[in-house]
Chain A
Amino acid sequence: MTRPRSRVGPQSLDGGHPLDVDRLLDDPATGIIVCCGSGGVGKTTTSAALALRAAERGRTVVVLTIDPARRLAQSMGIEVLDNTPRPVAGVSTTASGGSLDAMMLDMKRTFDEVVESQASPEKAQQILRNPFYIALSSSFAGTQEYMAMEKLGQIHADARRDGTYDLIVVDTPPSRSALDFLDAPERLSSFLDGRFIRLLLAPAKGPARLMSAGLGMVTNALTKVLGAQVLRDMQTFVAAFDTLFGGFRQRAQKTFELLQADGTAFLVVAAPEPDALREAAYFVERLGEDDMPVAGLVVNRASPEQHGDITAEEAMAAAQRLRKDGADSLTAGLLRLHADHMRMVERETLLRHRFEAAHPQVPIAVVPALAGDVHDLAGLRQVGALLAGERPT
């Protein structure tokens, strides 16, 4: 586990180095790309754009999205939840020989499928009908994260067996914290074989009741707070689930290893805002600690760089002079906009440089903001080109 980590060295004078997106996508060794980052930074769009670009460059790709905007989902043909990858129409792969499938995650269904595949039919039915299970599988804050990783594991295993895909692009859930999807599997599995479960199982197992003097007190307290019925449901669930625990832990462990493997690349997505970049920095560090390979940072929706070599101050001064002259207000307005824009660019560049100073080993792709929203393949193609560093001339 103690693979040497790249040393954080002094800041190079010209900042970081650009992320070569096409090389990442074209490299046959890249098998999984995970897009992560805090909410509202454009993870879903980035994942879809990367997947489309990879497919049109010849990879056989599947993209696993969590919660795409309705129109984007419609244009990709995945607005129906059926938890199975479906081919995306309209991808131009005739020349390249690639293909693109997409699916949207249904977390409850994924959980049900895991239970069905692991337990005997009667036992599975017993679990699926248990009120505690129903609540757990549809509302536990970590279920979505856990199931995203579970589905990734499944697709990866299938792809390896049947040769269906050579690249899987994964979007991560809009969590409270970008780290939740790394922590959730561990949390769920540590819960499943933790002390609390043994406590719940204790009454069913006789002698274990003597495990601790505190036990009676705890059971009483739980009954008080949760009510006897809830406690009974939980005990039934845990008893039925008992034999599956080992499996869950193993699967969580396997997915974790898959994420650490060489074929996996993490792209941290951020907006050029202090909060999003702070979260991104934290994420990069955390991934490093867990030996997960960070391929780069994507800074979305950046203010486009400006032509012309005047400063914001010069632009404002010129705007004022024009107004004094009583001249055309349009040009004055444009100069003021230009000044505002320059200040934005300056601020975003500063934020990015700070990130680079702390993480010089992380290559960066900057995606200029588009004027409109992205909701079709043409838009995704455009984002993909910008990700790869192509700029409209």
Chain B
Amino acid sequence: MPSRDFPQVRLHIVTGKGGTGKSTVAAGLALGLASTGTHVLLCEVEGRQGIARMFDVEPLPYAERRIATGLPGADGGRGGIVHALHVDPESALLEYLSMYYKLGRAGKALDRFGVVEFATTIAPGVRDVLLTGKVYEATKRNARNKHAITYDAVVLDAPPTGRIAQFLGVNQELAGLARMGPIKNQADSVTSLFRSGRTAVHLVTVLEEMPVQETADGIAQLRAHDLPVGGVIVNQVRPRDLGEKDLVAVRAGKLTKRKLAADLNRVGLTGSAELVLGLFTEACDHAERRALEDAQRGLVAGLDVPTYELPRLVGGVDLGGLYELAGLLREQGLA
């Protein structure tokens, strides 16, 4: 079953400001998309081995490895299979050369002359084309790669928002090497997939000023380059144990220490003036943060894209937490 809100999309690109948890969201999305009979590939391209850490497996090689079973469906059916791929530019270059140019021995010579290092670390723009090229190949499998698995969905844990347009190869001002020569053809077919209805770029944010601002800027930039904007995933949302009425009361100064102390007394938490003061300070602090969050939530709503919310996981993100996020994304329709 494909994404409910994005049924046509096959390639889900997940970006976000550093520290907002985009890798976690990408992993949760992959688990959520892998319902019964659905094959999903989760890719990472930044050499961090974040997937291996999240799923608690050995560091991933440049090969598609089965890492998890997707979230079971509501009907109790078994989840589909999630594979993972760690794309590194060196391997992608050598694979590309052997697939398209039949270079054979010359490929090895290239390595010996430092050409591989040059192409993957220094030659402007080439690195990104190699990384996106592999993701393209996995999304649009063709006859050149025999016996490969065909995926129903590919989720890409992409570079951060600030670099996303450049990464997706559409930033014409930064005319890199990839904008000239034969490698350009490769880049062009990749770009046409990215611009098609089969792709959606999702942005992860938290309810703070800078990440929300960066999300707004990112959306504007994606739109300016005709890249399909998917949804905004608001991550790490604080618990909302105080209702709107309570928040108003706190802000209006209607919460008194005496009242707090009386309530605490009733349940046997007696005598701690420090606790009363602590809870009182916390209440004021929480009310202020919630007001700031609401203001940012309003800005996110004004972005005119579907939004999804995920809670802050108190215990940190472990495998169980990823399934929890997957379930929430499925409930809300992103997966």
Using CB atoms and an 8 Å cutoff, list the residues of chain A in contact with chain B: 38-41, 67, 69-71, 131-132, 134-136, 138-142, 174, 176-177, 187-188, 191, 194-196, 199, 214-215, 217-218, 220-222, 224-230, 271, 273-276, 304, 306-310, 314, 318, 321-322, 325, 327-338, 340-341, 343-344, 347, 371-373, 375
Contact = CB atoms under 8 A, between A and B. Distances in A.
A314 B264 CA distance: 11
Scoring B117, B184, B277, B278 by chain A CB atoms within 10 A of each residue's CB, the highest score goes to B278
Interface in B281-296: 281-283, 285-286, 288-289, 292
A328 B162 CA distance: 46
A227 B101 CA distance: 13
A40 B246 contact: no
B303 interface: no
B316 A347 contact: yes
B292 A372 contact: yes
A74 to B, nearest CB: 13
Given A141-B127, A230-B180, A271-B19, A333 B242 contact: yes
Contacts of B278: 306-308, 338
Interface string B171-189: 0011111001111100000
Given A325-B267, A333-B246, A337-B282, A309 B275 contact: yes
Contacts of B208: 373
Contacts of B119: 225
B2 interface: no
A273 B317 CA distance: 10
Given A142-B122, A217-B105, A271-B19, A338 B279 contact: yes
Nearest to A214: B109
The 7 closest A-B pairs by CB, nearest first: A40-B19, A227-B181, A39-B18, A40-B18, A307-B278, A308-B275, A331-B263
A229 B184 CA distance: 13
Given A307-B281, A308-B274, A347-B314, A230 B181 contact: yes
A340 B124 contact: no
Contacts of B174: 135, 138-139
A225 B181 contact: yes
A340 B281 CA distance: 15
Scoring B113, B119, B124, B176 by chain A CB atoms within 10 A of each residue's CB, the highest score goes to B113
B113 A218 contact: yes
B216 to A, nearest CB: 11
A176 B109 contact: no
Nearest to A143: B124
B17 A40 contact: yes
Interface of B: 17-20, 46-48, 50, 53, 97, 101, 103, 105-107, 109-110, 112-115, 117-119, 121-122, 124-125, 127, 159-160, 162, 166, 173-177, 180-184, 208-210, 213, 239, 241-243, 246, 249-250, 255, 259-260, 263-264, 266-269, 272, 274-279, 281-283, 285-286, 288-289, 292, 314-316
Given A142-B121, A341-B282, A222 B115 contact: yes
A176 B159 CA distance: 8
Nearest to B296: A373
A222 B272 CA distance: 75
B315 to A, nearest CB: 7
Contacts of B173: 138
Q: Is the interface of A mostly helix, strand, loop or mixed?
A: helix
Contact of B314 (A194, A327, A340): A340
A101 to B, nearest CB: 24
A195 B114 contact: yes
Nearest to B54: A275
Scoring B105, B121, B255, B292 by chain A CB atoms within 10 A of each residue's CB, the highest score goes to B121
A201 to B, nearest CB: 13
Given A39-B19, A195-B114, A218-B106, A372 B288 contact: yes
9 contacts: A39-B160, A188-B122, A217-B106, A221-B107, A304-B285, A308-B276, A333-B241, A334-B286, A343-B314
Nearest to A188: B122
A128 B107 CA distance: 32
A329 B246 contact: yes
Nearest to A372: B292
Contacts of A69: 209-210, 213
Contacts of B213: 69-70
B272 A309 contact: yes
Given A191-B118, A191-B122, A196 B113 contact: yes
B105 to A, nearest CB: 7
Contacts of A276: 19
A337 B209 CA distance: 23
A371 B292 contact: yes
Given A226-B177, A371-B288, 19 more contacts: A40-B19, A135-B176, A174-B18, A187-B121, A191-B121, A214-B113, A221-B107, A222-B115, A224-B182, A307-B275, A308-B274, A318-B264, A325-B267, A331-B259, A334-B242, A334-B260, A334-B283, A338-B279, A372-B292
A309 B269 CA distance: 10
Contacts of B288: 371-372
Contact of A333 (B124, B243, B314, B315): B243
Contacts of B17: 39-40
A187 B276 CA distance: 58
B282 A139 contact: no
Nearest to A271: B19
A327 B269 CA distance: 15
Contact of B18 (A38, A71, A196): A38
A69 B17 CA distance: 12
B241 A337 contact: yes
Contact of B109 (A41, A217, A227, A372): A217
A194 to B, nearest CB: 5
